[in-house]
Homo-oligomer: A and B are copies of this chain.
């Protein structure tokens, strides 16, 4: 059994990690920390876990965490980077669900997150944990930077096109719609039901922190610079991301359905739907799957890729468990075969 700890377990990615890990056949959850809730039984805060999780939140305690085989950080941005170095030194593997280790360039981190990076040297060895892009590197990693939710949906949707150089790389568009749980569980007027139910709006059109992360991944795949217009929207639902991707095809266009089918043939968590399908976000609710469908309206030069995930599963905690499975040479689907809850 793998001994797992969670730092900062009071948010949505935390409770989702708990849901997944308590049902994982090879994991023993040994600690979950929260400074603000230390002493509170986890199941008091999240009654859905009653009967499944007996732990109480504890003060972050290095002596206890270092006994873990793996520690997940489900903390606000900027926390993990202050604690990770000593855990690595103690031989603990780390999977960070926050953004601390996602951007390879510390200057870019500072620009987008507004603070200096606490451990640029460690940053250099972090592996960006999108298995469909970096599986082999993840296998040997000590530190995995778990991708953001939008970046997961967008990269999986664009990768085959970008890798093969089939589209104009400077005019990509990603129009994304997210449920509100993507914003976390911190009290905020804008995310109250009275404000965001029966409503939609775009936000951060000028620049969202997931933009440099997406560009970094696509540029790795393309081997050259990429230009992307990324517009996130808040949708009046709890879970789910729907990424609608637009690209201009070049002159020579192969069978795109076939291209995607081959690219993802061995991916257990990418499901390519038949051409012309319209994936629903609910079809992945609670599941670690990304469903993708391809369109070429009026047989024109624009390809439209529809890519849906559950932002808390494949977009966060499920992908973190997938990364753990890879790190520890478990079956990659272990503990992740939940069927999406529909309706």
Residues in A lying within 8 Å of B, measured CB to CB: 12, 15, 18-19, 22-23, 46-52, 171, 173, 175, 177, 179-181, 183, 185-189, 191-203, 205-207, 227, 229-231, 233, 235-240, 242, 244, 246, 248, 271, 273, 276, 278-287, 289, 291, 295, 297-298, 300, 302, 304, 306, 308, 312, 337-343
Contacts and interface: CB of A to CB of B under 8 A. Distances in A.
A22 B337 CA distance: 10
One complex includes copies of this chain to the number of 4
A220 B291 CA distance: 39
Of A18, A191, A193, A273, the most chain B CB neighbours within 10 A belong to A193
Contacts of A230: 297
A278 B229 contact: no
Contacts of A231: 244, 297, 304
A206 B338 CA distance: 32
Given A192-B185, A197-B237, A271-B51, A202 B278 contact: yes
A205 B304 contact: yes
A237 B188 contact: no
A94 B239 CA distance: 37
A331 to B, nearest CB: 15
Contacts of A227: 300
Given A47-B291, A229-B302, A235-B236, A177 B198 contact: no
Contact of A244 (B195, B202, B276, B338): B202
A238 B202 contact: no
Given A181-B194, A283-B47, A341 B19 contact: yes
